[in-house]
Amino acid sequence: MVDVIGYRREAPGTQPAHLFPGYASTVKRAPSQSLIKIPHTLTEVTGPLFGHDRIGPNDADLTKQGKGEPIGERMILSGRVLDEDGKPVPDTLVELWQCNSAGRYHHPVDQHNAPLDPNFTGAGRIVTNGKGEYRFVTIRPGEYPWRNHYNAWRPAHIHLSLFGPAYVTRLVTQMYFPGDPLLPLDPIFNSVADAVARDRLISSFDIETTIPEQALGYKFDIVLRGRAATPMVD
Amino acid sequence: MKLIPTGSQTVGPYLHVGLTWLTTQDIAGTAGGRRIRISGRITDADGVAVPDALVEVWQANPQGKYAHPADKQDKPVDSAFKGWGRCPTDKDGVFEFTTLKPGAVPGPGNSLQAPHLAVTIFMRGQLKHLFTRMYFPDEAANADDPILNFVDDKARRDTLIARKDGEGRYSWDVVLQGRNETVFFDC
């Protein structure tokens, strides 16, 4: 017999629903049947681990990956990866992707009429340190139009992908910027119903990590699911 | 201190920019053992292929042990076998992995879970990823699998079981919505 301590379930409203018609692409892609709730077994409480050896020297500095300097406003994105109890999540992979300062992705599907930047691919990655901290140097991404509804524009955002310690702690999210006037209009951001949870998707400007004459600092802490207090009895 | 977990947001259409560097279709790697090939196609409510999805797989080794410290079973480990794969779908919505067939792993209480792959699916149009599982068609242990048995409807349960396409070849299609909709889990 293997006793497994599972992970906590989400509080109502703190995660988006699968079907959210305001975001039109969910209509044909969300399940119509209810999800079937299952207990956490050894399968769910284990998961892939990626070591620091997977990370190359400039993987966390997106301004140093080309032959020259990318165009745009340099910024530092840093923060901690925590669990629900506020405990740091060390040694976990964080993957990042974003568009360039003109609002265009380095991707064949993106045909937005904005310039590509030969010195910016918009991809980065890092493994958190022993205190759960991560730090990227990048360029502030631009806003860009999309065809979800008339005159739809995505607020500036950075995509982040995390694993955490287990299969069920996997998270892909987007980080937004404070004061962005597009946020109230964006269905993806507003798919998180709970206002407190939604606001956690917005980074905060941080003078402490701002580098004089060089780059603005933004802080963004990421919280992964935490362990349930007691072994699951199912 | 109690914090709210960060909300999930879609990977969007440009996920490849950040995620395909770690594409791992050969899960078996340099580990010893007989290879199997698993492929499938993802389709939406209209039966249209999904060309911009990402599939991740997590599985035990052939002895039924996960490459993770929380698995404390006294079973052999091959350090070359990590049990994790990632594959973006192609223009036809197809994904494919080469791996080793996992062994049975412990389930709740004294139960045993039949060999399975835990599968996570990401795509534009999904605000949060989907969790599902793939089981093998030639396994008597499926009948007693504690997770399969959470799915009361036999036809729905069958959506979690791959087809055998020949020696060492399995196919398993994922239907996001509608007729033959795949079972997805809240886990």
Quick one: average pLDDT of A66-84?
98
Whether A234 is in a domain gets the answer no
Tokens of A49: 């681990």
- pLDDT at site B101: 98
Inter-chain touch B116–A43, beta carbons under 8 Å? yes
* Per-residue pLDDT at A155: 98
Segment B168-175 shows an average pLDDT of 98
Residue A120 counted as domain residue: yes
In a domain, B184, yes or no: no
Q: Which of residues 113-172 of B touch A (CB under 8 A)?
A: 113, 116, 118, 120, 122-131, 133, 146-147, 150-151, 156
One-character DSSP codes across A106-175:
SSTT---SS---TT---EEEEE--TTSEEEEEEEPPPPEEESSSTTEEEPSEEEEEE-TTSGGG-EEEEE
- Domain of A85? 48-224
Residue A52 appears among annotated catalytic residues: no
What is the rounded average pLDDT of the residues A153-177?
98
Average pLDDT over chain B reads: 97
Structural domain count of chain A = 1
- Taking residues A27-43, what's their average pLDDT? 97
Secondary structure (DSSP) of chain B:
---PPPPP----TTHHHHHGGG-B-BSSTT--S-EEEEEEEEE-TTS-B-TTEEEEEEE--TTS--SSTT---S----TT---EEEEE--TTSEEEEEEE----EE-STT-EEPSEEEEEEEETT-SS-EEEEEE-TT-GGGGG-TTGGG---HHHHGGGBPEEEETTEEE--EE-SSTTPPP-EE-
Is residue B185 included in any domain, yes or no?
Answer: no
* CATH code assigned at A190: 2.60.130.10
Confirm whether A8 is domain-assigned: no
Q: How far is A4 from chain B (nearest CA, A)?
A: 8
Q: Is residue B45 part of a domain?
A: yes
What average pLDDT does this structure show over A93-97?
Answer: 98
Q: Which domain holds residue B41?
A: 15-174
Number of domains in chain B: 1
Among the partner-chain residues B8, B82, B186, the one whose CB lies closest to the CB of A35 is B186
Determine, yes or no, domain membership for B103.
Answer: yes
* pLDDT attached to residue A234: 44
